[in-house]
Amino acid sequence: MEVTRVASILGVSGLILTMGGFGLPLLATGTENTSSIVLGIGTLCLLGYVGIHFQGLVRGSHKRTTRLGTHSILAIILAALAVGLTNFLADKHGPEWDFSETKNFTLSRQTYQVLRALPREVNIHVFTRDGSPGYGAYQDLLTTYEKESPLVTVEFIDPERHPDKAKTYQVTRIDTAVIESGSQQIYLQRASEADVTNAILRVTRDSKKLVGFTTGHAEKSLSDTETPGMSRAADALKKQGYEVKGIDWSTIESSNPSLLVISSPTQSLLPSNVTQINKFLRKGGRLLVLSDPSSKDSLDPLLSQWGIQLGSGILADAQDRLGRGSPTALMVRTFTTHDITENFTTPIIFPVSRSITYDADQGKNWDFEPLAHTSEKSWEETTLTSTEPVLDEGSDPEGPFSVAAVLTSKRVGQDQKPESAIVIVGNAAFASNGWLTYPGNTDFFLKTMAWLAQEEALVSLTPKEPAFHPFVPNPSQEQSLVFFQVLFLPLLVLFLGLSVWKRRRSL
């Protein structure tokens, strides 16, 4: 009797410990070692139970009912193996069909052409984790890239479990994808087919486009790591695959940059500087002009020839401003449908900005298009000594005002000269170290640079909007679903099967 009782205890304990060992990793993370120990103890208990009842099991194997039961178990095991093998083969070699309304899981024709013509391997490292906002989108999109080309390898990395890899790639933001090939690297912050395909095209090229920041007239410095500096802007551009360096005004022509940035000089430009910029533009040059109020009239000789006039005051906005702070810290929310700002919904913070106006008669060789506006409750503060700007309806001009605009050169007749483009922003601080960390500022700066560098023209893809919104469970819901599907349902089926078997034995 004591042996039988011990065997029963071993059998029940073995079943409980085995099920607990399988279920523990599903209910809590970081319990793999504990699960292995529990499974080992459970297995030993079951082996002890079998050892005690070994003779009885041998005698029972000669019974007709036992043989029939054994045949049934073998048939079930064979059927399960057949189904498992079929699923394995279908997963590895089976065809796929996309029945979604928007073909959200099908790559575009241009992307297929890019993947078929890849000259070398491309590695994609996605720093994300299960449950983060971008995890599902990255997985759905990038696994399709990996299946379509043997040269594309995708690796998902949890930055919390592998902080060394995050440090190696200098990743500080979750849901960041690093696309690299050879010595080239591109960093992406969202799962977009157009962005991924263009990034693959860029990293598989050996040459980089040169972005030159002018130096020599007290512009914001690329090497300055303090709040007013532009070191973060330089780092962001390098992560996008550009070569970035400072260029003296006298060497603009010899340096031959792909695009040029004039970042709020505080010393007036010389006539020779204006001539050099005009030469650069006549050759199809692309230019970004950033001007803080501290620049005063230093850029007037350059801008006036294009019909551009920067406001002499500081813009204030009672409606679109940063929190409850000063109304001069603009939070710009109104955008046009230009390629740079189309579908742009994230606000941009422009601290201490100037207005931009255009004179069509003076800038007759250029097409002008605003990019962003202040609200109707904005005004231009002309009393610059006031610490608390207040609208003076008698003297302060009222908005809305343009705070960013683009100029593109007009084509005359059959003129085949390359198109020049200029983007003018009435603020430079938005791209400085102190403000570039805001998502809207980063997106606007990088999209502006990509448009000027004509990078967005590599592959023009229409973004796909999902026709449905999938249910993404939170961690507690996810654990409940796993417990219900992986543990409860199989145990319920096992219980019902044993009940039916016991009932048939009693007949």
Domain boundaries, the chain: 1-58, 109-188, 210-452, 480-507
Q: Which amino acid is at 400?
A: P
Share of the chain above pLDDT 90, in %: 22
Cβ contacts of 196 within 8 Å, gap of 6 or more: 124, 141, 142, 145, 177, 179, 188
Mean pLDDT of 481-504: 81
pLDDT tens-digit series, residues 334-373:
999 888 888 788 889 998 899 999 998 888 889 999 999 9
- Report which secondary-structure segment, H or E, holds 442: helix 439-452
Strand partners, 127: 157, 176
Write the CA distances from 258 to 241, 282, 455, integer angstroms: 13, 13, 11
| Sign of the C-alpha dihedral computed for residues 101, 102, 103 and 105 taken in this order | negative
End-to-end CA distance of the chain: 28
Q: Regarding the domain with residue range 109-188, which homologous superfamily does it belong to in the CATH classification?
A: Glutaredoxin (3.40.30.10)
Return the CATH class of domain 210-452: alpha beta
Please, which pLDDT band fits residue 105 given cuts at 50, 70 and 90?
low
- Pairing outcome for strands 122-127 and 176-181: antiparallel
- pLDDT top residue among 82 and 453: 453
> 400: cis peptide before it, omega within 30°?
yes
Strand partners, 381: 314
| Listed ranges 135-144, 368-377, 491-500; the one with the highest mean pLDDT | 368-377
Question: pLDDT at position 84, please?
Answer: 62
- Report which secondary-structure segment, H or E, holds 34: helix 32-52
